[in-house]
Amino acid sequence: MKHLYPYLQKYKVESILAPLFKMLEATFDLLVPLVVARIINIGITTGDTAFILSHCGLLVLMALIGLICSFTAQYFAARAAIGTATGLRHQLMAHIQSLSFTELDTLGVSTLITRMTSDVNQVQNGLNMFLRLFLRSPFIVIGAMVMAFTIDGGTALIFLLTIPVLSVIVFGIMRLTSPMYKQVQQKLDAVTGATRENLSGVRVVRAFGREEAESERFFALNGALTGAQLKVGRIAALMNPLTYAIVNVGIIALLYVGAQKVDGGTLLSGDVVALVNYMSQILVELVKLANLVVLLTRAIASMGRVSQVLDVQSSMRYPEAATAAESEEEAVRFDHVSLTYAGAGDESITDISFCAKKGQTIGVIGGTGSGKSTLVSLIPRFYDATKGSVTLMGRPITDWPHAELRDRVAVVMQRAQLFKGTIRSNLLWGEKTATDEELWQALETAQAADFVRAKPRKLADPVEQGGRNLSGGQRQRLTIARALVSKPDILILDDSASALDYATDAALRKALRKLPDSTTTFIVSQRTSSIRHADQILVLDDGELVGCGTHEELLSSCEVYREIHESQFRKGDEQA
């Protein structure tokens, strides 16, 4: 609750007014049976029409006031709950953005999305209902019993017997079904996961003729879900008949005892009706209270899941300002660098050392899983080396302020990721103050200008979520252009031209060579043709640096590089 309280403090007034107005509404609810009793005892008994009409008008007035109180309470409760949840969601989003890739990998992206959406919504609903009912329901139950004793103490003893029995039934069933509902949710997640998996991979399922097997798997998961729902449903279904049976027994007892007292002249018939109304109110409020407890249990569990994320601290710390001077020649230096991912048993890269000068083009090549992406991810400090040191422009990478580091290093990831909006809005991620002229210049370098000009609205043409309305090559070229807009000192292309044809790839490499002399470019690729003109080529094999040099030097000295090159050359993939 420590993370929720600061935001709830901002809505202190609403948090007080909501239950107070609910208490006011409950007060009118408790007075209604007394007014009805007076109508029966006085108005109907004496045939006083004016008395009956005046008290019926009083009931209408009380109903209107109660309705206004209810609306006001719900407004304040919703305002406090939604405002608190909004603040919590903003804090969670900001905290997630502050975490390093290590923490994001450990937590998992899917669970972070669930906690930001479903869990925060559960907290919001729980807080909303808590403010509305946590005082009202107990107040009605206790108040109804007190009012019953003010009418007739002897008859009201039936309430003392009925309320505990009702409480045992309601909260007993709630305690039995609460863990079962969690199991139902887990089985629902399994069905949802299987459905999503089959729909997204429907082509693969059909290609391998697995329709029948997947259908059987789905039916098995769905059957388990149905069975769990039926089991908890049967138990939950006992609540209404059992509670109503107890209440009806209580009402029968009230009518029996009341009838005897009415016949003896010690109790009026209107008072019996009032006692029956109070018994019905107690039943309704106990059921509401039980549902509130279930909702609060879920909300507390969800808040715990949110707090788990908020309690995770980033393993990286950034200084507010740089202290060391920059090197005039060096761009990047790795000094015996190794990295082991969190939870991994072995090192992903081991004892790597090299130096990249300003203005150089560095190629990185190796087989699948050799550690190419891991190596370049250390340059923008997505991860910290577990051994050795990485320096950028002569400064240790840990001495760079976060904002300055992001301004100096631009990365184009393996998977091209665009955001819903327009081509212009996506490019402006690189530099929000960039002019259209600078955007077109970046598009020209990235070989994307031609297809953007062919769009009906040019830079204003819409981009769907993830760039679904663009081809793979178009997405990759736009992400390269987005990185170029920021005019970085270090540009990292992490296998970001894999969807391009050889001609476009060659044109892109030629354009990249025209970048300012101060720009250092790292090109990660599977093709030797893409990096053959690099000033240095780093060859990785199983996380180790097995070769470093130019294309010609590596052909004669590095067996791994020579095998990669010759395998592609035999397939006709070599390009000048």
pLDDT in tens, 53-90: 998 999 999 999 989 999 999 999 999 999 999 999 99
pLDDT in tens, 477-504: 899 999 999 888 899 988 877 777 788 8
Q: Please determine, for residue 467, whether its predicted confidence score (pLDDT) is greater than 90.
A: no
What structural domains and CATH numbers belong to the chain?
A: 5-152+267-310 (1.20.1560.10), 330-570 (3.40.50.300)
> Would you state the pLDDT for residue 571?
46
d(CA 272, CA 258): 6
> Would you state the pLDDT for residue 227?
92
Residue with tokens 């904002």: 403
3 state DSSP class of 444: helix
> Would you state the pLDDT for residue 192?
75
How does residue 110 score in pLDDT terms, banded at 50, 70 and 90?
Answer: low
Could you tell me which of 506, 327, 496 has the C-alpha nearest to residue 408? 327
How does residue 570 score in pLDDT terms, banded at 50, 70 and 90?
Answer: low
d(CA 527, CA 576): 12
> Would you state the pLDDT for residue 71?
93
> Would you state the pLDDT for residue 395?
87
Residue type (1 letter), 67: L
Per-residue pLDDT averaged across 533-553, rounded?
A: 89
With a pLDDT cut of 70, the percent of the chain lying above it is: 97
3 state DSSP class of 249: helix
Cα angle 373, 473, 405 (rounded to 5 degrees) comes to 40
* CA dihedral sign, ordered 406, 411, 415, 416: positive
> Would you state the pLDDT for residue 200?
73
With a pLDDT cut of 90, the percent of the chain lying above it is: 14
How does residue 17 score in pLDDT terms, banded at 50, 70 and 90?
Answer: very high
Q: Please determine, for residue 573, whether its predicted confidence score (pLDDT) is greater than 50.
A: no
Residue 48 structure tokens = 């006083």
List the beta bridge partners of residue 540: 366, 545
d(CA 384, CA 151): 75
Note the residue count of the chain: 576
Exposed/middle/buried for 432, CB within 10 Å: 0-12, 13-18, 19+? exposed
Residue 93 structure tokens = 């989003």
Q: Please determine, for residue 403, whether its predicted confidence score (pLDDT) is greater than 90.
A: no
How does residue 575 score in pLDDT terms, banded at 50, 70 and 90?
Answer: very low
List the beta bridge partners of residue 524: 364, 494
Chain center to CA of 493: 30
550: phi then psi, degrees, rounded to nearest 5? -85, 175
User: Do residues 545 and 336 lie in contact, with contact meaning Cβ atoms separated by under 8 Å?
Assistant: no
> Would you state the pLDDT for residue 132?
87
Contacts of 8 (CB under 8 A, 6+ apart): 15, 80, 84, 127
> Would you state the pLDDT for residue 80?
92
d(CA 247, CA 260): 20
Residue type (1 letter), 190: A
Residue with tokens 């043709």: 529
User: Do residues 522 and 497 lie in contact, with contact meaning Cβ atoms separated by under 8 Å?
Assistant: no
Mean pLDDT of all residues belonging to the chain:
85
Q: Please determine, for residue 320, whether its predicted confidence score (pLDDT) is greater than 70.
A: yes
CB atoms within 10 A of CB 360: 17
CB atoms within 10 A of CB 113: 11
pLDDT in tens, 335-379: 999 998 887 778 888 989 999 998 888 999 988 888 888 899 999
